[in-house]
Structure 1
Amino acid sequence: MLHLIQQSCRMAWRNLFRPRQHNVAKILCLALGLSVSAVIIAEIYYEQTFDQCYPDYDRICRVTEGFKMKAQEFTEGSNTSGGVVPMMKRTIPQVELATRTNPIVTDGEVETDDKTRVRADVYFADSCFFRMFPARILEGDADRALTEPFCCVVNRSTAERLGGNVVGRHIESKEMPGLKLTIVGVYEDYPHNSTFHTYDVIGSMNTQKNFSFDGQDNLVGNDRYSSFVRIRKGASPDSLTPLIHHMIQTHYPVQELRQSGVWLIYKLTPISRYYTEADNVRQMFWILSLLAIILLSASILNYVLIVVGNLVSRAREMAVRKCYGAGRGAVYSITFSEVCLHLVLALMLGAALLWACHGTIEQLLSAPLSVLVFNRGAWILLLIALMVLFVGGIVPGWLYNRMPVTLAFHGYVEARRRWKVALLGLEFAMVSFLLGLLFIVSMQYRHTVGFDLGYQCAGLATVNITALQPDERQTAYDEVGRMSGVRQVSACNTFPFYGMSGNNVTVPGEESQLFNIADLYTVADHYFDVLQIPVVAGRVFASGSDSLKQVMVSQDFASMMKKLRGWDDVVGRKVIISEHSGNENKDLLTIVGVYRDIHLGSAENNGRDRPSVIFYGRAANWMNNYLLIQLDDFSAEKLTDIQMRLQRFFPGKTVMVESVENLKNMQYVATRNFRNGVMTVGIVVLFIALMGLIGYVSDEVNRRHKEIAIRKVNGACVGDVMRIFQLNILRTAIPAVLIGAVGAYWVAAQWLQLYDNRIALTVWPFLVTIVLVLLIIVAVVAINCWRVANSNPVEYLKQE
Structure 2
Amino acid sequence: MKQLHYVIQTLLHSKGSNLLKVVSLGLGLTMSILLFARVAFEQSYDTCFPDTDRLYQVWSQFTVKGEKLDWQEMNCGPVAGAILESFPEQVESATCTAHWLVSNPLYYGNTRFDDKKIAADSLFFRTMGIEVLSGNPVQDLQQPNVVYLSETLARKMFGTEDPIGKVISYNHERDLTVRGTYADLPDNTTLKAEGIVSLPPSWAAEVSNYSWSGGDSYFQYIRLKPGADAEALNSRLGAMVDKYRPSEDKKVYGYTAKIAPLRDTYRGYEDMKRSAVILTVMGFAILFIAALNYALISISSLSRRAKAVGVQKCSGASSAGIFGMFLAETALIIGLALVVMVFLLFAFQDFVEDTAATRLANLFTGNRLWVPVGTVLLLFLIGGVLPGQLFARIPVTQVFRRYTEGKKGWKRPLLFVQFAGVAFICGVMWMVTVQYDYVTSKDMGFSTERVATGYIPFTTAEESEGAEHFFRSLPYVEDVTAGGDPLMGYSGTMINDEGGNSLFSARFDQIRPNYADFMGMTLLKGRMPRLEGLEHWYDEVVVNETLARMMHWGDDVVGCMVNTMGVNVKVVGLLKDFQMGGFYEQPAPYIGFAKTSFGGNLFFKLKEPFGDNLLKLQQATVNAYPDKTIDIYSMQSEADRLYNPVRVLRNAMMVAALVMFLVMLMGLLGYTADEVQRRSKEIAIRKVNGAEAAGILELLGRDILWVAVPAVLLGVCASAYVNGLWLDMFSVAVPSGWAMYVLVAIVNLLVILGCVLWRTWHIANENPVVSLKSE
- Residue 731 of structure 1 and its aligned partner are, at CA, apart by 0.9
| 3-state SS in 1 of match to 2:579 | coil
Cα distance in 2 for partners of 1:799, 1:702 equals 10
Q: Once structures 1 and 2 are overlaid, which stretch shifts more, 384-393 or 362-371?
A: 384-393
**1:259 equivalent among 251, 259, 264:** 251
The structure-2 alpha-carbon separation of the partners of 1:489 and 1:11, relative to structure 1 and needing over 3 Å to count, comes to same
The structure-2 alpha-carbon separation of the partners of 1:132 and 1:211, relative to structure 1 and needing over 3 Å to count, comes to closer
Is the 8 Å Cα contact of residues 149 and 210 (structure 1) preserved in structure 2? no
Is the 8 Å Cα contact of residues 59 and 73 (structure 2) preserved in structure 1? yes
Q: Once structures 1 and 2 are overlaid, which stretch shifts more, 274-283 or 464-473?
A: 464-473
Deviations 1:601-630 (A, max 9, x none): 22121124x2333331322x4xx13x2122
Is the 8 Å Cα contact of residues 488 and 631 (structure 1) preserved in structure 2? yes
Cα distance in 1 for partners of 2:9, 2:462 equals 79
Instruction: Verify: 1:209 aligned to 2:203, yes or no.
Output: yes
Cα distance in 1 for partners of 2:285, 2:238 equals 48
- Residue 339 of structure 1 and its aligned partner are, at CA, apart by 1.3
Instruction: Verify: 1:229 aligned to 2:208, yes or no.
Output: no
| Counterpart position of 2:6 | 11
| Counterpart position of 1:99 | 95
- Residue 162 of structure 1 and its aligned partner are, at CA, apart by 2.9
Is the 8 Å Cα contact of residues 538 and 571 (structure 1) preserved in structure 2? no
Q: Which amino acid aligns with 2:224?
A: I
| Counterpart position of 1:502 | 492
Is the 8 Å Cα contact of residues 599 and 607 (structure 1) preserved in structure 2? yes
Q: Which amino acid aligns with 2:72?
A: G
- Residue 222 of structure 1 and its aligned partner are, at CA, apart by 0.7
Deviations 1:399-434 (A, max 9, x none): 122122214532233752321221111100000111
Deviations 1:84-130 (A, max 9, x none): 11112222343332111012456532211x21112133321121111
| Mapping for residues 516-595 of structure 1, pairs under 5 Å | 516-520=505-509, 522-542=510-530, 548-550=536-538, 551-556=540-545, 559=548, 562-563=551-552, 568-569=556-557, 571=559, 573=561, 575-577=563-565, 591-595=571-575
Deviations 1:542-588 (A, max 9, x none): 45779742342313476268549x995553847442xxxxxxx5x76
The structure-2 alpha-carbon separation of the partners of 1:651 and 1:795, relative to structure 1 and needing over 3 Å to count, comes to farther
Cα distance in 2 for partners of 1:674, 1:658 equals 25
Is the 8 Å Cα contact of residues 525 and 618 (structure 1) preserved in structure 2? no
Instruction: Verify: 1:402 aligned to 2:396, yes or no.
Output: no
| Mapping for residues 656-735 of structure 1, pairs under 5 Å | 656-735=631-710
Instruction: Verify: 1:130 aligned to 2:125, yes or no.
Output: yes
Cα distance in 2 for partners of 1:629, 1:545 equals 27
Is the 8 Å Cα contact of residues 308 and 420 (structure 1) preserved in structure 2? yes
Q: How many residues align?
A: 771
| Mapping for residues 400-549 of structure 1, pairs under 5 Å | 400-407=391-398, 409-413=400-404, 416-466=407-457, 477-492=468-483, 494-506=484-496, 510-520=499-509, 522-542=510-530, 548-549=536-537
Q: Which amino acid aligns with 1:356?
A: A
Cα distance in 1 for partners of 2:705, 2:536 equals 76
Cα distance in 2 for partners of 1:709, 1:468 equals 92
Cα distance in 1 for partners of 2:517, 2:485 equals 15
- Residue 682 of structure 1 and its aligned partner are, at CA, apart by 1.4
Is the 8 Å Cα contact of residues 65 and 267 (structure 1) preserved in structure 2? yes
Instruction: Verify: 1:387 aligned to 2:382, yes or no.
Output: no
Q: Which amino acid aligns with 1:696?
A: Y
Cα distance in 1 for partners of 2:546, 2:672 equals 67
Is the 8 Å Cα contact of residues 123 and 137 (structure 2) preserved in structure 1? no
Cα distance in 2 for partners of 1:48, 1:178 equals 39
| Counterpart position of 2:275 | 284
Q: Which amino acid aligns with 1:111?
A: Y
Q: TM-score, normalised by structure 2?
A: 0.92
Q: Once structures 1 and 2 are overlaid, which stretch shifts more, 207-216 or 633-642?
A: 207-216
Cα distance in 2 for partners of 1:42, 1:64 equals 29
| Counterpart position of 1:180 | 175
Cα distance in 1 for partners of 2:537, 2:26 equals 67
Cα distance in 1 for partners of 2:397, 2:446 equals 79
The structure-2 alpha-carbon separation of the partners of 1:84 and 1:701, relative to structure 1 and needing over 3 Å to count, comes to same
**2:596 equivalent among 606, 617, 624:** 617
Is the 8 Å Cα contact of residues 554 and 597 (structure 1) preserved in structure 2? no
Deviations 1:274-307 (A, max 9, x none): 2223333223222221111111111111111111
The structure-2 alpha-carbon separation of the partners of 1:607 and 1:76, relative to structure 1 and needing over 3 Å to count, comes to farther
Cα distance in 2 for partners of 1:387, 1:296 equals 9
| 3-state SS in 2 of match to 1:376 | helix
Is the 8 Å Cα contact of residues 490 and 629 (structure 1) preserved in structure 2? yes
The structure-2 alpha-carbon separation of the partners of 1:189 and 1:785, relative to structure 1 and needing over 3 Å to count, comes to same
Is the 8 Å Cα contact of residues 531 and 537 (structure 2) preserved in structure 1? no
- Residue 213 of structure 1 and its aligned partner are, at CA, apart by 1.8
Q: Which amino acid aligns with 2:492?
A: G
Is the 8 Å Cα contact of residues 104 and 170 (structure 2) preserved in structure 1? yes
Cα distance in 2 for partners of 1:692, 1:315 equals 20
Q: Which amino acid aligns with 2:581?
A: G
Is the 8 Å Cα contact of residues 117 and 197 (structure 2) preserved in structure 1? yes
| 3-state SS in 2 of match to 1:77 | coil
| Counterpart position of 1:111 | 107
- Residue 640 of structure 1 and its aligned partner are, at CA, apart by 2.4
Q: Once structures 1 and 2 are overlaid, which stretch shifts more, 32-41 or 50-59?
A: 50-59
The structure-2 alpha-carbon separation of the partners of 1:311 and 1:66, relative to structure 1 and needing over 3 Å to count, comes to same
The structure-2 alpha-carbon separation of the partners of 1:20 and 1:477, relative to structure 1 and needing over 3 Å to count, comes to same
Structure 1 spans left out of the alignment, 5+ residues: 1-5, 578-584
Q: Which amino acid aligns with 1:363?
A: D
| 3-state SS in 2 of match to 1:326 | coil
- Residue 180 of structure 1 and its aligned partner are, at CA, apart by 1.9
Q: Which amino acid aligns with 1:528?
A: A
- Residue 780 of structure 1 and its aligned partner are, at CA, apart by 0.9
Cα distance in 1 for partners of 2:152, 2:100 equals 19
| Mapping for residues 188-207 of structure 1, pairs under 5 Å | 188-197=183-192, 199-206=193-200
Structure 2 spans left out of the alignment, 5+ residues: none
Cα distance in 1 for partners of 2:460, 2:3 equals 77
Deviations 1:718-756 (A, max 9, x none): 322222221111111011101111111111122222334
CA RMSD of aligned residues (A): 2.8
- Residue 382 of structure 1 and its aligned partner are, at CA, apart by 1.3
| 3-state SS in 1 of match to 2:690 | coil
Is the 8 Å Cα contact of residues 546 and 616 (structure 1) preserved in structure 2? no
Is the 8 Å Cα contact of residues 454 and 598 (structure 1) preserved in structure 2? yes
Cα distance in 1 for partners of 2:361, 2:694 equals 53
Cα distance in 1 for partners of 2:739, 2:550 equals 44
| Counterpart position of 1:582 | none
- Residue 775 of structure 1 and its aligned partner are, at CA, apart by 0.6
Cα distance in 2 for partners of 1:547, 1:488 equals 28
Q: Which amino acid aligns with 2:112?
A: R
Is the 8 Å Cα contact of residues 465 and 473 (structure 1) preserved in structure 2? no
Q: Which amino acid aligns with 1:539?
A: R
- Residue 475 of structure 1 and its aligned partner are, at CA, apart by 5.3
- Residue 517 of structure 1 and its aligned partner are, at CA, apart by 1.8
State percent identity of aligned pairs: 27
